[in-house]
Structure 1
Amino acid sequence: MQNNKLITRIAGFLGMILLVSCATSNKDRQDPWEGWNRGAQTFNDNLDDYIMKPVAEGYQFVMPSFADRGVSNFFSNINDIGVILNDLLQLKFAQGGKDGARFLVNTVAGIAGFIDVADMIDLPKHNEDFDQTLGVWGVPTGPYLVLPFFGPSTPRGVGGMIGDSAMNPITYVGFFSSGAASTGLFGVNTVDLRADNLTTEKIATEAALDRYEFFKNAYLQQREYLVHDGNIPFDEEYEEFHFEDDSSEKGKMGPVRPY
């Protein structure tokens, strides 16, 4: 519950900042809060350089590869609960059935998910989250936003993050034990994810002429790709973030694509 309270407070604080920024910004509609975003990214980069990256490198050094993979599989299996719920919310019932079978197989035969047995029998991992669900139901993404500690996002992404937290069983571990247990599990998951992305982040940083622009474009393109399940309309441009009222189908609530 401590994690839910933290996310809610951050979301509320950021919401006030965004309302003020929205009234004063005349910048690119895709990135009107660039000043805030660059400052937040610098903060996150420094936090990563001095804390997260050294911890992740130490974790990767002491963890045997099979154990590292097992921990990643365990948290991926827990994440599949949220994937299943978002499948159903997006009316993807066939995929939801497959993801449900994947969760059951890995939980039982894969020893609580430490072994990805489902992948061995052609039940692949799907990537569905509440941000995608909101997009499918017509909620506009809004402009790019970098969150302290959490990284690249959008206003819709903040709502998605809160929804994903509500769907994650780890959030409720505190009901049955101390809050430290829930915080510890989230911490291990964060370190494990950072360790898994050490090589990717290094390559991206070396390839980017402007690190900020690189990660912004990569994030926005990935979210658009995921919401549309890879079927991105050719006539849809990035400037269509639907900030004004729109009487077209894009502005109505419902499971339509594009959103």
Structure 2
Amino acid sequence: MHHTKLVSIVGMILLFFIGGCATTAEIHDPKDPWEGWNRKVQSFNDDLDDYVMKPVAKGYRWVMPGFADRAVSNFFSNIDDIGVTINDLLQGKVAQSGSDGARFLVNTTAGIGGLIDVGSMIDLPKHKEDFGQTLGVWGLSTGPYMVLPFFGPSSPRGVGGLVGDAVMNPITYMGGYVSTGLFALNATDLRADNLAMEKIADEAALDRYIFFRDAYLARRNYLVYDGNPPDEMDVLEFDEEEDGLGPVSPY
């Protein structure tokens, strides 16, 4: 099964990452004990982006008309709503699950397979729920910050979230070149949509690594707690009592 292979790949990446982290001696931040290793992986990811993803995304943006680009983004957003609806239920958000499920049905039918975002037109807004958030709602501590090769910023809990999201994504089960092609198209579309954000990050950041780490952790914290995260001191005290891994980050 294709999803079994994907889970195995993510598992191997995590084991490789943890093995490499064992060589990092100096700890700079309690929530980021593997900073030395993380910086090397981010550098690798940045080089991959500079030489592969960014040129492909720019070419994609150049050849794709605006309406077609929006249709592709809507298509993958619609597929994502399947996992969003499931995670709503797993988090006990029954009313929101009904809204997100209705959004998926409307966009799949009236929106021609999700190419048109009809849901937003009729007051069925897009929500962001993933399995990493669900694990956080269930009380699973995030663990230390890590940067995964290819995948980027994450955490031990985030890796579990990646696996859960893959299981909930129907593209995973299509197998072979179809799944690979669709995942590649989605990655390209996302990268193209975020080309403008890179300039903002470069201009705002004295240290790109710290900028992306802190932005990532803050965003996940916001998402897990639905915009009402606890005070930093409360988070620190909880984490020290529970697992000693430093301030809880909800990734």
Output the TM-score relative to the length of structure 1.
0.88
CA shift, 1:15, in A, is: 3.1
Percentage of identical aligned residues: 66
User: Corresponding residue for 2:186?
Assistant: 189
SS in 2 for 1:231: coil
CA distance in 1, matches of 2:133, 2:53: 27
CA distance in 1, matches of 2:91, 2:107: 23
- From the superposition, tell whether residues 236 and 136 of structure 1 become closer, same or farther in structure 2 (CA, over 3 Å): farther
The 5 Å alignment of 1:167-246 reads 167-174=168-175, 179-234=176-231, 236=233, 239=236, 242=239, 245=242
User: Corresponding residue for 1:127?
Assistant: 128
- Aligned residue pairs, count: 245
User: Corresponding residue for 1:8?
Assistant: 8
Asked if the contact 1:4/1:165 (under 8 Å) is kept, the reply is no
Does the alignment pair 1:109 with 2:110?
Answer: yes
CA shift, 1:6, in A, is: 3.9
Asked if the contact 1:30/1:239 (under 8 Å) is kept, the reply is no
- From the superposition, tell whether residues 240 and 185 of structure 1 become closer, same or farther in structure 2 (CA, over 3 Å): farther
Runs of 4+ in structure 1 displaced over 6 angstroms?
none
- From the superposition, tell whether residues 24 and 145 of structure 1 become closer, same or farther in structure 2 (CA, over 3 Å): closer
CA distance in 1, matches of 2:237, 2:160: 20
CA shift, 1:205, in A, is: 1.7
The 5 Å alignment of 1:27-176 reads 27=27, 28-174=29-175
> Unmatched 5+ residue regions in structure 2?
none
Asked if the contact 1:141/1:241 (under 8 Å) is kept, the reply is no
Which amino acid letter does the alignment assign opposite residue 181 of structure 2? G
Deviates more, 1:10-19 or 1:93-102: 10-19
CA shift, 1:55, in A, is: 0.1
Deviates more, 1:214-223 or 1:230-239: 230-239
User: Corresponding residue for 1:255?
Assistant: none
Which amino acid letter does the alignment assign opposite residue 96 of structure 1? S
SS in 1 for 2:239: coil
CA shift, 1:35, in A, is: 1.0
CA distance in 2, matches of 1:38, 1:223: 20
CA distance in 2, matches of 1:212, 1:4: 32
CA distance in 2, matches of 1:218, 1:49: 21
Cα deviations by residue, 1:82-127 (Å, 9 ceiling, x for unpaired): 0000000000000000001100110000000000001001100000
User: Corresponding residue for 1:254?
Assistant: none
CA distance in 1, matches of 2:134, 2:201: 28
SS in 2 for 1:128: coil
CA shift, 1:208, in A, is: 0.8
Asked if the contact 2:34/2:145 (under 8 Å) is kept, the reply is yes
Asked if the contact 1:109/1:117 (under 8 Å) is kept, the reply is yes
- From the superposition, tell whether residues 227 and 159 of structure 1 become closer, same or farther in structure 2 (CA, over 3 Å): same
Deviates more, 1:216-225 or 1:27-36: 27-36
Asked if the contact 1:30/1:238 (under 8 Å) is kept, the reply is no
